[in-house]
Amino acid sequence: MGPAKKNLSHKQIMRSPAVCLSVLTVGVLVVSIAELCLGPQSYSLAQLWNAFARQSTTDPAWRVLAYVRIPRLLAGLLAGAALAVAGTLLQAVLNNAMASPNVIGVNSGAGFFALLAAALAPEALGAAQFASFLGALGCAMLVYGLARLTGLSRTTLVLSGLAVSGMFSAGINIIRLLWPESVSGAPNFLVGGLSGATLKMLLLALPYLFTGALLAFWIDTDLNVLCLGDETASSLGLNVETIRFIGILAAALLAGAAVSFAGLLSFVGLLAPHIARKIVGNDHRVLLPASALLGAFCVVGCDLPARLLFAPFELPVGILLSLIGGPFFLGLLLRHKGGRLYA
């Protein structure tokens, strides 16, 4: 009995939320340091520390750090965390394992409106971020409405997302055809990449990210109740439709903001929540921060080999994420035959 209890206690400690979140945080820190140090021109930690301490514009290390690697790192961390939390929210409010920003077309809607704003109002401050949010919210509500009319099953949700995504993708191609000069960076935007991210873009997206995160963590306990089923949640006094709308609104804020500076990154919102659920369980008070950390780790961790494998050429991180996420999505289709997470 003694060794068994000791072994059980050890397993419980290793699976405790604090330990899991601490390990994930360390992982994010490791890949972040690697992202700053490694590249076509690599620097040691001591060189980067000295460059950061002096902040001299004549120092090549500081210029690389300040204008390239720090904005890129922050973009990867924020986009990964935002898309992962958005995916967790959508899976919870729709009770569907297949739900994620790219699968149900939220990313495509945000991308279409972001490019439309860039074409029609290229000089308007914050126009791309606001338009991206509106596109994400409108697309999410449209897909949810279509799926609800035909039954919230895995098949109807995915098919509705594919249909809406196809329409917005056609719209994106029309914009590229009509305003080629205004959307010259569209190819990199469409596959998802961090090379064009700047601190100004991140600052403009920050209010949307902060508001979305605040809403997400505000309803974390309600999401646990919602996952018991609509009837049970209603009998416990939960306003199901209000919580569902807040969840979709938060997901739209996060996904729209991420798309505005990182482009159409695929599968982060699908990969991270499922992996996090395997590690920490279904309690959204822990699942949301775990998903955020895993999403940040996935994007930055994939961006590192994407930059280094074909140096001096660079592979957009969205391509590598798609190569990993595609088989993962097919595996989910085979495993979750009913499509529901908690039923």
Burial profile 56-79: b = 16 or more Cβ within 10 angstroms, e = fewer: eeebebbebbbeebebbbbbbbbb
Residues with Cβ within 8 Å of 72's Cβ and at least 6 positions away in sequence, in order, are: 35, 194, 195, 197, 303
Would you give the distance in Å from CA 155 to the centre of its chain?
Answer: 23
Cβ partners under 8 Å of residue 269, min gap 6: 83, 84, 86, 87, 88, 90, 100, 101, 102, 103, 255, 295
Torsion-angle region of residue 306: left (phi > 0), alpha (psi -120 to 50) or beta?
Answer: alpha
pLDDT of residue 15: 64
Low-confidence ranges of the chain (pLDDT < 70): 1-15, 151-155, 185-186, 333, 335-343
Pure H helices in 309-340:
317-335
pLDDT, position 343 = 43
Backbone angles phi, psi at 155, to 5 degrees: -65, -50
**CB atoms closer than 10 angstroms to residue 38:** 16
What is the rounded CA–CA span in Å between residue 147 and residue 155?
9
The torsion region of residue 137 among left (phi > 0), alpha (psi -120 to 50) and beta comes to alpha
Nearest CA-CA partner of 88 in 277, 260, 263, 232? 277
- The answer to whether the peptide bond before residue 312 is cis (omega within 30 degrees of 0) is yes
Burial class (CB in 10 A: 0-12, 13-18, 19+), 175: buried
Upper half-sphere CA count for residue 324 (Cβ side, 13 Å): 19
Residue 335: CB atoms within 10 A of its CB come to 9
Residue 184 three-state SS: coil
Q: What pLDDT, on a 0 to 100 scale, did the predictor assign at position 333?
A: 67
Torsion of CA 299, 305, 310, 314, to 10 degrees: 20
Task: Give residue 310's pLDDT.
Answer: 79
Q: Which domains does the chain have, with CATH numbers?
A: 42-335 (1.10.3470.10)
Going by C-beta distance under 8 Å and a sequence separation of 6 or more, which residues neighbour residue 340? 95, 96, 97, 154
What is the helix (H) or strand (E) element at residue 96, kind and residue range? Answer: none
Q: How far apart are CA 129 and CA 108, in angstroms?
A: 14
